[in-house]
């Protein structure tokens, strides 16, 4: 019998483990080259001042085997907050037993407790195992929406350009 799985809010002592899981996630998504966040960045974002995000960790026998990082959004149409899941990752050897679904359910409960109008996240279009889980829990794809991003040099240049002439 495997030891019990515990989902709990992340604590400062978990930053090293969460950062390691972020690197594993990035490798899985073939995006390791895009990870710039260091452990100190993560600590500041989660635990200092007005935190930018929150995280949950999943422990089994004292080992952190999964995490979810999330933050609040706001819907002008609903007039209420939403919960946005930035990342969720379960170590490969712990997949297929419901840990990801348990994390999603935990987050859904938080969204309901916090009176959020919605719970949203994005997924890579090739990640069929994740897409099957999301569809299986009743989540719907927002295919009519596209995600846009300004970053790096494009962000810097757009920010300093004069808009109104």
Q: Report the C-alpha gap between 69 and 54 in whole angstroms.
A: 6
> Looking at 28, 74, 84, 134, which residue is catalytic?
134
C-beta separation of 18 from 67 below 8 A: yes
Eight-class DSSP state of 20: H
Tell me whether residue 134 is one of the annotated catalytic residues.
Answer: yes
User: Cα dist. 128→74, 115, 124, 134, 139 in Å?
Assistant: 29, 31, 9, 10, 14
Residues acting as catalytic residues: 134
């Amino acid at each position: 019998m495997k030891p019990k799985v515990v989902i709990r809010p992340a604590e400062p002592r978990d930053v090293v483990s969460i950062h390691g899981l972020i690197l594993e996630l990035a490798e899985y998504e073939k995006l390791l080259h895009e990870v710039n966040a260091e452990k100190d960045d993560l600590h500041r974002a989660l635990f200092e001042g007005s935190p930018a995000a929150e995280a949950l960790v999943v422990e089994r026998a004292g080992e952190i085997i999964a995490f979810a990082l999330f933050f609040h959004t706001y819907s002008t149409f609903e007039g209420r907050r939403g919960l946005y899941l930035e990342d969720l990752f379960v170590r490969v050897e712990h997949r297929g037993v419901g840990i990801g679904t348990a994390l999603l359910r935990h987050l859904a409960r938080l969204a309901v407790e916090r009176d959020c109008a919605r719970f949203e996240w994005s997924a890579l279009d090739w990640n069929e195992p994740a897409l099957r889980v999301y569809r299986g829990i009743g989540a719907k794809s927002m295919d009519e929406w596209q995600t846009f991003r300004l970053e790096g040099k494009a962000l810097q240049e757009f920010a300093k350009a004069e808009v109104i002439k």
